[in-house]
A and B are shown apart, each in its own frame.
Chain A
Amino acid sequence: MDILVTGTVLGGTYALIALGLTLQYGVARIMNLANGENLVLACFTTFWLFSTYAVSPLLGIAIIAPAAFALNWLIYRFAMRPLVERAKNRGQLEVDSILATFGLMFIFQGVMLLAFGGGYYTYNFLNTPVEILGANYGLNRLVTLAAAAIIALALWLFLYFTRYGTAIRAVAVDPVAAGLVAIDVPRASAFAFALGGAVTAAAGSMLSTFYTFNASMGVIFTMKALIIVIMGGVGDVRGAVLAALLLGIAETAVATLVDPGLTLAATYALFIIVLLFRPQGIFGRSPA
């Protein structure tokens, strides 16, 4: 039971990062390997706002998510668009965007190391225990889970029940055809990339309330998010959420029952199973 709750909280955070990534990769076609740094940057900003100006992390999201949206819009506009335009095929765009976002990843990391150093950070927020079915959980974790659920739900409603959300899904399916039906593909791509960054940053704000973070941990989160995106099927909101919860629970189970040092092994075990048996994702249709 303990594993289920802790795992679900972790999975909820993973789900948001993965949703951010799936928007960026599924719609804008950019495999953003700097997404984890985006998350860590939000952790630090939340911490900084909280410790310097006593801004509650919940309020912090309202500042950080729009800021991340703007930052990622700029990144897409000035760093990624040129790559999209020069790419002769999807494969080349993939290689270029992977390399460029590696560059971003190191630059973000470098800047954060200079600003905050390499140490581990943590702070106290809503760290009061709440009893559920006989076990105690930090209130901050439960608030995180609730916030993750609200954000994921809002994203789903936006994508499936609004006009612009439908346009974005159309771009995800086929950018050329979407362009033919008068959807502004470059704009939709930029929007999806920026939105993905904002969702990930929101996840970072929440994560920082209960997780010890440091400047160089982004890459592990990126990797887990990527694995979740693949497990869930690229661009699939339901799949990403389910895969994230699965991964969160599997990791917590391994950490509790076997060894906390083997969480990545659990991630990889799931990843390998997916690669070998369902490379198109849990809900993905089998390839034609």
Chain B
Amino acid sequence: MTALLSVHNARKVFGGLVAVNDVSFDVSRGELVGLIGPNGSGKTTMLNLITGALKPTSGTIMLDGTVLSSRPAHFIARQGVARTFQLVRVLPSLSAIENVVAGAVFGHARHWGADAYALAEDLLHRVGLGGRADAPIASMTYIDQKRLELARALASDPRLLLLDEWLAGLNPSELKIGISLIADLRDEGRTIVMVEHVMDAIRSLCDRCVVMSSGTKIADGNVTEVLTQKDVVAAYLGGEDA
């Protein structure tokens, strides 16, 4: 079977800085892949290339045979790529349920009217915000806003879900809830790529991880093996990158 997501020699240059340096990797259907690396290693840039927030300088990104690279973000979203943001982005003047409906109307799966609202209601329950459909967004805690963002991403029934440090900033008990939520998504067969710094989460959730350092892919494989690899350890503990 071919890969669902295939990144081939993706490259992104900002002025003189090579943020992503000819990175290639594949993600198969149903796989949960961790994308890790030290700060500034190009992980979020990589996600931005996949979702179309940025256009790659060169290289190809494909989703199930469709070329995504250099297409606009809305096209990529409609192909079935949904994401959350590193710094949570909710829609403050919309109600909680409308925030979720926003994900259901224009994306990969398209719902409208009562149908979209029913779906959004289900998803709010799913992420633990049941009964809070009309809650004002501004009064929501950080984790609740993150939950809301996840529900919005799920509302389009994405073929590929990209989580950008979705677990960052959560306290230990919230972290547990968050990890089990992602585990549920994995168990129901969603394909997920998660950029993450929380190593416990990577260890307990991911089958495989891709490690980036200074824009280059330095490792790709089974999580426990990769994390003991010398250059990976060096990159994290202060090799040339720190």
| Residues of A in contact with B (beta carbons under 8 Å apart) | 285, 288
Contact = CB atoms under 8 A, between A and B. Distances in A.
Contacts of B15: 285, 288
Interface of B: 14-15, 54
A288 B54 CA distance: 8
Contacts of A288: 14-15, 54
Nearest to A286: B15
A288 B18 CA distance: 12
A288 B14 CA distance: 6
**Chain B interface, DSSP helix/strand/loop, else mixed:** loop
Nearest to A288: B14
A285 B16 CA distance: 12
4 contacts: A285-B15, A288-B14, A288-B15, A288-B54
B44 to A, nearest CB: 14
Contacts of A285: 15
A250 B133 CA distance: 59
A56 to B, nearest CB: 49
B14 to A, nearest CB: 5
B93 to A, nearest CB: 13
A288 B19 CA distance: 11
Contacts of B14: 288
> What 4 pairs between A and B have smallest CB-CB spacing?
A288-B14, A288-B15, A285-B15, A288-B54
A285 B13 CA distance: 13
Nearest to B13: A288
A285 B15 CA distance: 9
A288 B53 CA distance: 11
Nearest to B12: A288
A104 to B, nearest CB: 31
A285 B14 CA distance: 11
B12 to A, nearest CB: 9
A285 B54 CA distance: 16
Contacts of B54: 288
A2 to B, nearest CB: 43
A286 to B, nearest CB: 10
A211 to B, nearest CB: 42
B87 to A, nearest CB: 14
A15 to B, nearest CB: 28
Nearest to A285: B15
B56 to A, nearest CB: 12
A123 to B, nearest CB: 51
A49 B15 CA distance: 51
B231 to A, nearest CB: 29
B112 to A, nearest CB: 29
A111 B54 CA distance: 49
A288 B15 CA distance: 7
A286 B124 CA distance: 42
B195 to A, nearest CB: 20
A288 B45 CA distance: 12
